[in-house]
Structure 1
Amino acid sequence: MRYDLDDLRLFLAVVEEGSITAGARRVHLSLPSASARVRALEHHAGVGLLVRGRRGVHPTPAGAALVRHIREVLAQTARLEGAVASYATSPASSLKLLVGGSAMHGMVPRALVTFLQEHPGVDVHVTESRTPDTVRALLDGEADWGVVVEDEALGHGLVTELLTDDSLVVIGHSGGVLAGRTALSYSEVAEHPLVGLTAGASLRRWIEKHAAPQAPLVRYRTTVGDLSVVCALAAAGVGLALVPRHAVDASLALAVCALEDPWARRRQLLARGPARGPVSEAAAALAVHLRGAAARQPVR
């Protein structure tokens, strides 16, 4: 048989209220209409569902079983309606953010958490991107914001502002070869086994582009896709690593030394395309959260 959801809601209300009158009132039906619906439900079920008495009604065993299933059906219906409703209206806005790999460690995730919580009607599409690619996308109007490395982004006509320091440091096990050192050159670092990011990572490619041509050929003991894993491997004594200072995990037993090569001093900028009008309210709000996350970024 086919069950009408309104009849099921009525029957549940009647059982929970203990009265057809009160149940009818709860679902905004008249008493005659509610009584007729309950009788029709019992007729179609072929079994009595309610025990009627002077002090109200209570379910028969069949009625109690029906109530359990009604609750499950209504819960599933609510979930179904919620799932479909999420596609019924487009979000108020959709933003595209392009970021370098090191910005994906800490700063951007923190900004996304607070922004998305405060702006449920806005979607943010985040893509890891090298600075030259981000610059081209911003100039072509293909993204709202980019987090870029300063020396590769200036001079292209972008609107930029300083976001955070992204200078590189050398890390290794606290009791290892870095003990007693405060700074090393890349050539010295390259003489030791390293752990690093995978070859396609934007930070790895940036390091290899700027490293001195005369530096020794680097031996990577392993490469991974996450800076947190790189830090953990370095702390375990697997090898030295080059990471942004803000990526160093203070909870790990790490020695930290400055990388003295000039190219190791980097700054990240928040950038957008050439000004062609006011920034949207959603984009401006995302920038506020990125600035806040950068200001809260721990530095060791």
Structure 2
Amino acid sequence: MRYDLLDLRLFRAVVAEGSITAGAARLHLSLPSASARVRALEHHAGVDLLVRGRRGVRPTPAGQALARHADAVLDELDRLEGAVAGYRRPAGTPLTLLAGSSPMRHLVPRALVSFLSAHPDVDVVARQRRSADTVRLLADGQADLGVVTIDARDAPPPATDHLADDSLVVVGPAGGAPADRPAMSFAEVAEHPLVGLEPDAPLARTLEANLGEHAPVGRYRGRAVDLDTVVDLAEAGVGLAVVPRRVVDPARGLAVCELAEPFARRTLVLRRGARPGPGVEDLAEHLRRAARDATDRAASAPA
């Protein structure tokens, strides 16, 4: 037999009040409607559930069993609804997008332009965070969508979550140390003056975390707040830079080679939060589109 939740709530109220009239009033039902529901419940159960008297009603043994189990079912349903409600986004809450310094350069801005233009009723807050922090904040329900970096040591992502290659390269002026070399280790890079992002930037912290405490300490001649400035400094010969290949314009004629460390083979991927709200998948698609467009532009650029 299939039980209707309203019937269970009504029966519980009738038993608690000792009256069909009072039970109906508690649930804002008319007396005829409530009486019909109780009769239908008894019909489907195939047994009397209430003993009716001049002063009200009382449950039969079968009715007592039904009321007891109805309490358990409805209490569990309330807990279920409460658990789900904890993940429900209030209407009008902006989407929160987290990403590192590399995707924040062009990928995220371009996706935001197209998404916000197409969705005038949805707001987005974009914040720069390290990948490890982004994963934690997504799991905690404090963000809706993240662009995180994984490397060759991680399991490959689903194809639908793959955005772009984000491998790290060494950049210097035309004819500089990286010229005509397939790769340089960070130990070799650190023998030269360096330029990079500020120490708290996601990329700078990623380098520090992966190179370890025994990594050579380089001399940073300049630190900047954005990757464009870092590349400009490297092009000017101020120092070598370690940056994602995707931020280097091949038309500029810079000396570029791979960074030899295993963590340098990186990929940008999408990650979703624990409380996905309206618009999240649309925003994800705009990020994919922006990544595809950037890949197409890089492939068509003159060498």
TM-score, structure 1 normalization: 0.63
| Residue 113 (1) aligns with residue 116 (2) | no
SS at match of 1:147: strand
Aligned residue number for residue 217 of structure 1: 217
1:179, distance to aligned residue in structure 2 (A): 2.5
Are 1:297 and 2:294 counterparts?
Answer: yes
Letter in 2 for 1:204: A
Q: What displacement does 1:252 show?
A: 2.4
Q: CA deviation at 1:139?
A: 0.8
Kept in 2: contact 1:231–1:249 (CA 8 A): no
CA contact (8 A) 2:96 2:144 kept: yes
How far is the alpha carbon of 1:253 from its aligned partner? 3.2
8 Å contact kept, 1:93–1:282:
no
CA gap 1:121/1:252 in 2 versus in 1, 3 angstroms? same
1:139-192 per-position Cα deviation (integer Å, ceiling 9, x unaligned): 11111101112259979xxxx822221110000001222222221111111110
Match of 2:196 in 1: 196
Whether 1:288 aligns to 2:253 is no
In structure 2, what is the Cα distance between the partners aligned to 1:152 and 1:259? 13
Structure 1 runs of 4+ aligned residues shifted over 4 Å read 90-93, 151-155
1:208 maps to: 208
Contact 2:144-2:277 within 8 A present in 1 as well: no
- Residue 264 of structure 1 corresponds to which residue in structure 2? 264
Quote how far apart the aligned CAs of 1:294 are: 1.1
Contact persistence 2:168–2:244 (CA under 8 A): yes
Name the aligned partner's letter for residue 107 of structure 2.
Answer: M
Matching residue of 1:186:
186
Contact 2:152/2:263, CA 8 A, preserved across alignment: no
SS of residue matched to 1:297: helix
Is the CA contact 2:151–2:265 (under 8 Å) kept in the aligned structure 1?
no
User: Which amino acid is the alignment partner of residue 288 of structure 1?
Assistant: E
Please list every run of 5 or more consecutive structure 1 residues that lacks an aligned counterpart in the other structure. 1-89
Q: Is the 8 A contact 2:179 2:257 kept in 1?
A: no
CA contact (8 A) 1:135 1:153 kept: no
% identical equivalent positions:
50
Judging changes above 3 Å, is the alpha-carbon distance between structure 1 residues 282 and 153 closer, same or farther for their aligned structure 2 residues?
A: farther
**How many aligned positions are there?**
206
**In 1, are the aligned partners of 2:99 and 2:130 still within 8 Å (CA)?**
yes
What are the within-5 Å matches in structure 2 for residues 118-267 of structure 1?
Answer: 118-150=118-150, 161-211=161-211, 213-267=213-267
In the alignment, is the contact (CA less than 8 A) between 1:161 and 1:270 conserved in 2? yes
- The structural deviation recorded for 1:138 is 0.8
Shift of 1:92: 5.4
2:41 match: none
CA RMSD of aligned residues (A): 2.7
Query: What does residue 98 of structure 2 align with?
Result: 98
SS in structure 1 opposite 2:98? strand
TM-score of the pair, normalised by structure 2: 0.62
Instruction: Point out where structure 2 has 5 or more consecutive residues left out of the alignment.
Output: 1-89
* 1:242-294 deviation digits (Å, cap 9, x = unpaired): 000101123423111011111111111100135x7xx5441111111000111
**Corresponding residue of 1:81:** none
Contact kept? 1:162, 1:268, Cα under 8 Å: yes
Residues 187 and 212 in structure 1, CA contact (< 8 A), matched pair in contact too: no
Read off the aligned partner of 1:110 and give its amino acid letter.
R
Q: Could you tell me whether the CA contact under 8 Å between 1:196 and 1:220 is conserved in 2?
A: yes
Give the letter aligned to residue 256 of structure 1.
V
